[in-house]
Amino acid sequence: MLIQHLSQQLRERDAQSMRRRRRVVEAPCLPHLTVASVGRDARPLLAFCSNDYLGLASHPALGAALAEGAHCWGAGSGASHLISGHSRVHAALETDLAEFLEPCIPKARALGFCTGYMANLALLTALGDAKATIFADKLNHASLIDGALLAKAPMQRYAHGRIDVLANQLEHCSTPIKLIVTDAVFSMDGDLAPLPELLALAERFDAWLIVDDAHGFGVLGEQGRGTLSHFGLRSERLIYMGTLGKAAGVAGAFVAAHGTIVEWLIQAARTYIYTTAAPPAIAHALRTSLQLIRGEEGERRRAQLTTLIALLRQRLGEFVAAAPQRGWTLADSSTAIQPLIVGGNEAALALSAALESRGLWVPAIRPPTVPAGSARLRITLSAAHSAHDVLKLADSLEHAAKALA
């Protein structure tokens, strides 16, 4: 019965163009990849899909640091952090991260996690107890939604970016603890949350602001410190989650917050306690990544990314404006995430396939990841792209759109 039930659901997904398929990448994470897919030989593609915004994932210094870390610390941590898996290098990375975030969160303490998904589950389940209410932007990442669903606290969602709606919800909330939760850079739209206004509301209503900066850490703000720094924010009310597998180019995540909050996560967060600590070699490589992010190399890469974003927006802005009858829109984003919203699932898949036949890989994102009727190409840029790559994408989109018309 189970197999029949699942097969039926898979057929339904096929019928709605919602079946997801994995591709096998046969090269390190770079814009120019070799990719295999079912029934097809591996072939080269120019990719606009990774979250490796600074192009650090295949940086030789990080590969070398990982190897050095494995040489010093071996392959695995062997246990959870609360047993014997917490090594000196994990602790050193936490100290580095806390110091890096200190300009935004006074006296911050940091705590490392294996993934951003686990960090978000930790935050919402450990802080969202029966005395709390969680207030969440409707476009928050799945990991924040799942964390809120697992928490004992009730969740109230507010329409995307609607400060007025949130203010009203906060005003009528009677629980003593209030947690506002938001992506800093929305992962499928690329826009920024109104963090200054959200922090002002947190202050006004004695709430806490949990900021998921998966797509801002390393990219935005002074020295790549992230979206809090981009807005010049500094407050003890901020609870920050940054991921380390995107712009930082390695893996993992961290929370930076008031020391008591971090201490409570260590005591109560099940996705921290009941899992094996990440390999210490990862922490070792991440310390090098942090130095690259903060230093001149990071500055150069952020400047390159900014140039490419402007070039892409100019070319795609013209492309969209030239054919309004298609109904396509370029999302209002200033970040490395530049979605081209197409509408229907089939149209997005067809456009992605037409680009692929021209040697480009731009993923079609469909519901339930994005709202129904807003299927899109999620174009992401990296400092490892060249201006030539971006122009090739713009030209190929024009040709692909004409071929589909």
Ligand X SMILES: Cc1ncc(COP(=O)(O)O)c(C=O)c1O
Which positions touch ligand X (CB under 6 A)? Answer: 115-117, 120, 141, 143, 183, 187, 212, 214, 243, 245, 253
Q: How many alpha carbons lie under 13 Å from residue 39 in its C-beta half-sphere?
A: 1
d(CA 4, CA 179): 42
d(CA 350, CA 158): 33
Q: Determine how many CB atoms are found less than 10 A away from the CB of residue 299.
A: 13
CB of 93 to ligand X, least distance (A): 15
Q: Which residues of 155-183 are buried (b: 16+ CB within 10 A; e: fewer)?
A: bbbbebbeeebbbebbeebeeebbbbbbb
d(CA 23, CA 203): 46
Pairing of strands 24-25, 32-37: antiparallel
Shorter beta-carbon distance to ligand X: residue 214 or 277: 214
CB of 121 to ligand X, least distance (A): 10
